[in-house]
Amino acid sequence: MKNIAVLATGRGTNFKSLCRAGLQKQFPGKIALLVAGRENIGALDVAEEFNIPRYVLDPKHFPSQEQYNTELEALLSRFDIHWIALAGWLRKIAAELIEKYPNRIVNIHPALLPFFGGRGMYGMHVHRAVWESGMLVSGATVHFVDEQYDHGAIIMQQCVALSPEDKADDIARKVLRAEHELFPKALKRVLSTPYTVKNNRVCFKPGA
């Protein structure tokens, strides 16, 4: 059984979708830890609901980025974490952590990457940009994390049809539903199916 840590800084709705999936007998991993980026967020309540160990690591409480990174790595080691899932995590992952967990850190993004990604593109910033573009399709992307924002190899995507009448809030609601479906599905696949990452592409073993 592979232990999974979820890093979150918000309401925790994607985290909750992973917790629910983790209760299923066929899910090939255990949601073993929540690391919250700040206090008093919904994700902490979700962790309590599902009886998952939870810790708050707020960067404001550390004198340096290096000490923060060291504490995070120590926490992950203490819980014997094999995989990391970012569910609304707004901090850039340190290169040292990416090196320690190569192609084992996954992120969910509320758009169809490579569109509407990059530094500063999160939450409603993404959905407003989609609305302003006039596009009639959006969606969600689960991808591996590398040292650039929203750049790692794409694992899975799910499209969402939009209406010309949709506003940014409508787009956000539609995409969030897709995220809740996609994230557990994508995580289950990488946990259970042999794959390689080449030329920034995830290639799953045929027939697996």
Active site residue ranges: 109
Confirm whether residue 107 is marked as ligand binding. yes
Q: How far apart are CA 68 and CA 106, in angstroms?
A: 20
Confirm whether residue 14 is marked as ligand binding. yes
Q: Are 127 and 176 in contact (CB under 8 A)?
A: no
Confirm whether residue 9 is marked as ligand binding. no
Please state, as a whole number, how many other Cβ atoms lie within 10 Å of the Cβ of residue 68. 18
Q: How far is CA 57 from CA 15, 42, 61, 125, in A?
A: 17, 15, 8, 25
Confirm whether residue 12 is marked as ligand binding. yes
Q: How far is CA 160 from CA 139, 172, 188, 195, in A?
A: 5, 10, 21, 26
Q: How far apart are CA 190 and CA 44, in angstroms?
A: 26
The alpha-helical segments, DSSP class H, found in the chain are 13-22, 42-49, 65-78, 95-100, 124-133, 168-192
Q: How far apart are CA 19 and CA 31, in angstroms?
A: 6
The annotation places the binding site for (6R)-10-formyltetrahydrofolate at: 107
The annotation places the binding site at: 12-14, 107
